[in-house]
């Protein structure tokens, strides 16, 4: 079951990735923690140190992942 959820998460990340890449950034899947419903991602490129990164993380990435995978409670950058 966990692998199926991870695949859904990665597909959701693939949906937001092009808009991030257009701005010189990217996102990488790190880990899915089934116990607490948390997805860990790494922001890369121009997203690192960008003042808008937290908004992108919560309103862009997290919203898309939660919509695609209801088991996800939070997306956090590591």
Domains and CATH numbers, the chain: 2-77 (3.30.300.130)
Please state the φ and ψ torsions of residue 49, each to the nearest 5 degrees: 85, 0
Q: How confident is the model at residue 3 (pLDDT cuts 50, 70, 90)?
A: confident
**Are 4 and 23 contacting, i.e. CB atoms less than 8 angstroms apart?**
no
pTM over 0.75: yes
Dist. CA 65–CA 43, nearest whole Å: 15
Instruction: Kindly list the strands in the beta sheet with 74-77, ordered across the sheet, starting from the edge strand earlier in the chain.
Output: 25-33, 38-45, 74-77
Mean pLDDT, range 37-46, rounded to an integer: 97
Reduced to 3 states (helix: H, G, I; strand: E, B; else coil), residue 61 is helix
pLDDT over threshold 70, residue 10: yes
Report the 10 Å Cβ neighbour count for 71.
Answer: 15
pLDDT over threshold 70, residue 2: no
Average pLDDT, the chain: 94
């Amino acid at each position: 079951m966990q692998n199926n959820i991870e695949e859904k998460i990665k597909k959701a990340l693939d949906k937001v990735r092009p808009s991030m890449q257009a701005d010189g950034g990217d996102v990488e899947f790190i880990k899915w923690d089934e116990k607490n419903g948390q997805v860990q991602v790494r922001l890369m490129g121009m997203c690192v140190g960008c003042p808008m990164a937290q908004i992108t993380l919560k309103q862009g990435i997290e919203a898309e992942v939660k919509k695609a995978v209801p088991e996800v409670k939070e997306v956090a950058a590591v």
